[in-house]
Structure 1
Amino acid sequence: MKILLIGSGGREHALAWKIAQSQLVSRLVCAPGNPGMAKVGECIPVDDPIAFSKENSIDLVVVGPEQPLAEGLADRLAEAGIPCFGPVKAGAMLESSKAFTKEICDEAGIPTARYGHFTEAALAKAFLDEFEAPFVIKADGLAAGKGVIIAEDRQQAEKAIDDLLNISGSLVIEEFMKGYEVSLFAVTDGETVQRFGTASDYKRAFDGDKGPNTGGMGCVSPAPRFTKELEDRAMEEIVLPTVRALKARGVTYRGVLYAGLMVTDDGPKLVEYNCRFGDPECQLLMRRLRSDVVPSLWGAATGRLAGVGLDWKDEVGVLITYATKGYPGAYEKGSEIRGVEEAEKDDSIVIFHAGTKEEGGRLLANGGRVLSITALGEDYAYARGKAYQAANLIDWPEGFYRKDIGEGF
C-alpha cells in the first residue's frame, strides 16, 4: 500500500513513525514532512495532493492537520476516487465551527455547557449577565488551539469578546464547567466507531497551569482518573450520538473524532470537538499502540472499519513539549538544537519533531512547539522521570519546557 501523509508537525511525525512500521506499507510520502519524518518516509512538497496521488498510484491519503479538512480536501479526494482518512468539510465543521458543534449537541441531547452564539459585541456582552465569572469565550472558527479565553472577570470577558470578534467575526460564550479535562479519541467510518485511547494534556505555557493557552505543552496517556465506566458513558452519551446526528444530516464522518471532555460531578460533558488527532496527544497514542495503525486508517477511509481491533501496550506515557522561548507569543527561529540523538539512546524514549528544519547538517528550531519528548513506563512516575532525563540531555538554550508534566499521578 502507498500512503500520502499530509502535514509537518509532531502529530504527523508520530503518524509517519507508526505507519512506517506497518508490513502493509510499501511507500510512505510525507508532504511536506520534517527532519524527523525524513527518517521514516520520503519528504516531498506536494502542491496538489489529488494530482500527486493519481500520478503515484497512492492508495490512501492521511490528513494530519485540521486546515486542509476544513477547506474540503477530503471532499476533493472523494470526487477523485482516492480514499482519505479525514472527514469531509461538512464533518470537519465540528472543529471549524463551535456554533455548529453546539447545534449538534442540541439536536442529539449531548451534555455540554450552556452557551450563546454571537456575531455582535453588544449582544454578546449582555449575555454575560447569564453567568458568573469566570467566563469562557471561544472564537467560532479555527484558532490552532489558542482561540479560547477564560476571562476571570467582566472586564476581561468584554475585552475577549472584542478581540475574538475581530479575529473570527463570530463567537460562542459558554458557562464555565468545573471538573477535570480529558481527551477522548475515536476512529470511525461513519457507522462503526472504534475507541482510540485517552489522554490528559497541559494547555497553559508555564508550570502550575500559569500563562497563556498554547497548543499543548505536554500530556499523559491514558488519562488518569478517567475510569472505564466514565469512558463508556462518554462514548454512549457524546461520541456515538454525534456520529448518528451527522449521519442524519447526510454526513458520513470518516476519520478521527477527538472529544475534549470536562468530567464534572454530573459526568462527562463535551467541551469541544477536533476533527484530527490531538497534538501532542497523538504522539503518545502512537507510542502506546502495539498493533498496526494502518488497518484502522484504511478501514475508516473506506467504510471497512468493522472487525478491526486494537492492541495497546500495558505501559503509560508521558510527553514533554520543548518549545521556543516566547511561545505562544513572538519567538525567533533558527537556533541550533543539540543532543537529540543522545537523548534517544534510551529505549523508552522517542522524540518527535514538530517545528524543526535541517541546515548544513545542523538541527534548527523552526517553530513555536519544536520537539515532543515521549517516554513509556510501568507507571507515570517512571515515565515522567525518563522523559525529564531525556529533556535534560538536549542542549538548546533558546528553548523551554514545563517542569510539572505528569506530576502527582
Structure 2
Amino acid sequence: MKVLVIGPGGREHAIVRSLLSDPYVREVHAAPGNAGIAQLVDTHTIAADDPVAVTELAQRLESDLVVIGPEAPLVAGVADALREAGIAVFGPGRAAAELEGSKAFAKQVMAAANVPTAMCRVATTPGEVAEALDAFGAPHVVKDDGLAAGKGVVVTASRDEALSHAQGCFDAGGSVVIEEFMEGPEVSLFAICDGRKAVPMVPAQDFKRIYDDDAGPNTGGMGAYTPLPWLPAGFTDEVMDRVVRPVIDEMAGRGTPFVGVLYCGLALTTRGVRVIEFNVRFGDPETQAVLARLKTPLGALMMNAAKGELDTHEQLTWSSKSAVAVVVAAGNYPDSPRKGDPITGLDEAEASEGVHVIHAGTKLEEGRIVSSGGRVLTVVGLGRDLEQARERVYDGVRQVRLEGSQYRTDIAALAARGEVTPPPLRTGALPVIGAES
C-alpha cells in the first residue's frame, strides 16, 4: 500500500520509520514532516489541520491509507473529509476526537460507560473554580478543557497558582475541569481500535515535568520507557475490560465509532486503576519507545483498523528488548523555546549501539539541520533490559550538540533500579466515576 502520514513531529517520524520496515507498505509520504522525516520519504508542505488540503494531497498521491498523527487535525475533522472522499483513514472523526478535544466530554463518556476516573467539576467562572478547589482540597488539579499540546494541566499545592491557571484558560475563551488529586504512578496504554474492537499495545510510562525528580512545569513529555517490570499481573487485561472496551462500546452506541488509537493515561491508585485522561492519537514520546519494540507490521495493523477488520489481530508481537526514549529540548522550553540553532552530532549518536534518533522540532535551513520547536529530538535506546537501554540512550544523547539544550537524566532510572512500587490493585473494586456540576 501507499501511505500518507500527516504531522510534523517525533510521533510522525517514529510512525514513518516503522512503516518503512513493513513489507505490506511500498511507499510512504509525509505532510508537512520535518528534517528527519525528509531524509526518509518525500514530504509535502500543507496545513495539517486543513481538511480540504489534506484530502486533495491524498487524492493526488493516490494514497491507500492516511495516518493522522496529531490531535489538532483530528479535532478539525480531517478524518471525516478523507472518509467522505472514500480514502481509508487511521484516526477518529471529529465527533469521536472530542474525547481529547474536550475533557468535560470525556468525563461524560466515562460516566456513561462506568469507567473509573477522578471526581471533577467543570468551571466557567472564577467563583466556580474557587468552590471546586475548596471541595477537593490540595493538591489542586486544574485542566484546560480544550487542546493544549500536553501543557494545559497544572497540579499544584498553591491555590493562587491554580486560580491563575484557570483564569488564563478563561482569558483564552475556554473553560476548565477541576479534579480531585490522584496519587500513584502513571501509565500510558495505547489501544488500536476499529470502531467495535480494540487491541492493546504494550504499556509505557512517560515523564511530563521538565526537570529531574519531576520538578518544574509540565511539558509535552520529556521521555518514556517500556516495558514496565513493576506493573501487576493482569494490568492490561483489566484496563481493556474496564476502560477501553466500555468506551469503544459507548462511542459506537452514540453513532460516533472510534477508529484509530485510544491513548489511556492512567494512574495506579490505592483504589485501583483510574483514568487521568484520554488522547485520540499516539502519545509523544511514548510512541518512540513503544514502536521501537513492535514486531507486528504497523501499516497492515493500521489498515485493518481503518477497514474495521481488527479480528485478524488477536494480539500483537513484541521484541523482548527494553526501550528508553529521552527528549532533547531547546533552551527555555517549555516557555519560549530557542529556535534556529544548528544541530550536530546526529550521525555520531546513531552510530552508538542500539540507538536511533527521532526528529521532532527540526527543519532544514541552508543545508543545515536547525531547531524549530521546543522538543527538538528524541533519542531512543534499545537494550536487553532497562539498565542497558538507559546506558545506550544516554551515550547517544551526549553525542548531540545543540546550544542551550536540556534533557532529563533520570528517565527510567527508578524502574531500572526496581524502585517503583505501585499500590496493590483491588481487582473487581467498584469504580469511582467522575461527576460533573
TM-score range relative to shorter protein = over 0.9
The alignment status of 1:169 with 2:174, answered yes or no, reads: yes
Identical-pair percentage: 41
Residue aligning to 1:232: 237
Picking from 384, 392, 401, the partner of 1:386 is 392
Partner of 2:34: 34
Query: Which aligned pairs between 1:71-90 and structure 2 lie closer than 5 A?
Result: 71-90=76-95
Counterpart in the other structure of 2:253: 248
Whether contact under 8 Å (1:140, 1:168) holds in the other structure is: no
TM-score normalised by L of structure 1: 0.98
Alignment size in residue pairs: 409
List runs of 5+ in structure 2 lacking aligned partners. Answer: 48-52, 416-437
Give the structure 1 partner of residue 220 of structure 2: 215
Note if contact 1:115-1:174 (Cα within 8 Å) is conserved in structure 2.
Answer: yes
In the alignment, which residue of structure 2 is the partner of 1:301?
A: 306
Is 1:361 paired with 2:367? Answer: yes
Please provide the CA RMSD for this pair.
1.2
For the 8 Å contact 1:146–1:214, the answer to whether it is kept is yes
Q: 330-339 or 320-329, which moves further after superposition? A: 330-339
Deviation of residue 372 (structure 1)? 0.3
- Kindly indicate whether the alpha-carbon contact (under 8 Å) linking 1:354 and 1:372 is maintained by their aligned counterparts in 2: yes
What SS is found at the alignment partner of 2:62?
A: coil
**What is the Cα deviation at residue 252 of structure 1?**
1.2
> Would you say 1:206 and 2:211 are equivalent positions?
yes
Aligned counterparts of 2:405 and 2:91: Cα–Cα separation in 1: 33
CA displacement, residues 101-136 of structure 1 (integer Å, 9 cap, x when unaligned): 000111111100000012122122112221120110
CA contact (8 A) 2:352 2:395 kept: no
Higher relative contact order structure (alpha carbons within 8 Å, sequence separation ≥ 6): 2
**d(CA) in 2 for partners of 1:331 and 1:78?**
37
- In structure 2, distance between residues paired with 1:64 and 1:83: 15
User: What is the aligned partner in structure 1 of residue 107 from structure 2?
Assistant: 102
Which residue does the alignment assign to 1:180? 185
User: Are residue 397 (structure 1) and residue 418 (structure 2) matched?
Assistant: no
- Stretches of 4+ moved more than 3 A in 1? none
Query: Counterparts of 2:154 and 2:323 in 1: how far apart (Å)?
Result: 29
C-alpha displacement of 1:224: 4.0
**Counterpart residue number, 1:12:** 12
* Shift, 1:342, TM fit: 0.9
Work out whether residues 34 and 357 of structure 1, in 8 Å CA contact, stay in contact via their aligned partners in 2. yes
What do residues 291-331 of structure 1 show as CA deviations (whole Å, max 9, x unaligned)? 21111110111111111242100011111100001000112
Matched, 1:319 2:318: no
- Please say if residues 117 and 276 of structure 2, whose CA atoms lie closer than 8 Å, have aligned partners that are also in contact: yes
Deviation at 1:167, TM superposition (A): 2.6
Please state if 1:114 is matched with 2:119: yes
Deviations 1:225-281 (CA, angstroms, capped at 9, x unpaired): 223412211111111111011111111111000000001112110000000000001
Query: In 1, distance between residues paired with 2:396 and 2:20?
Result: 24
Provide the C-alpha distance between the structure 1 equivalents of 2:237 and 2:143, rounded to a whole number of angstroms. Answer: 28
Deviation at 1:55, TM superposition (A): 2.2
Letter of the 2:41 partner, please give it.
Answer: G
Please name the residue that 1:407 is paired with.
413
Equivalent residues of 2:200, 2:236 under 8 A apart: no
Deviation at 1:164, TM superposition (A): 2.0
Q: Distance in 2 between matches of 1:40 and 1:251?
A: 35
Task: State the SS of the aligned residue for 1:197.
Answer: coil
Could you tell me how far apart the structure 1 residues matched to 2:230 and 2:30 are? Answer: 36
Aligned-partner Cα distance in 2 for 1:296–1:254: 12
CA separation in 1, counterparts of 2:235 and 2:406? 35
1:168 Cα offset (Å): 4.3
Mapped contact 1:62–1:84 kept (Cα < 8 A)? yes
Q: State the 1:393 CA deviation.
A: 1.3
Q: Where in structure 1 are there 5+ consecutive unaligned residues?
A: none
d(CA) in 1 for partners of 2:405 and 2:165?
Answer: 29
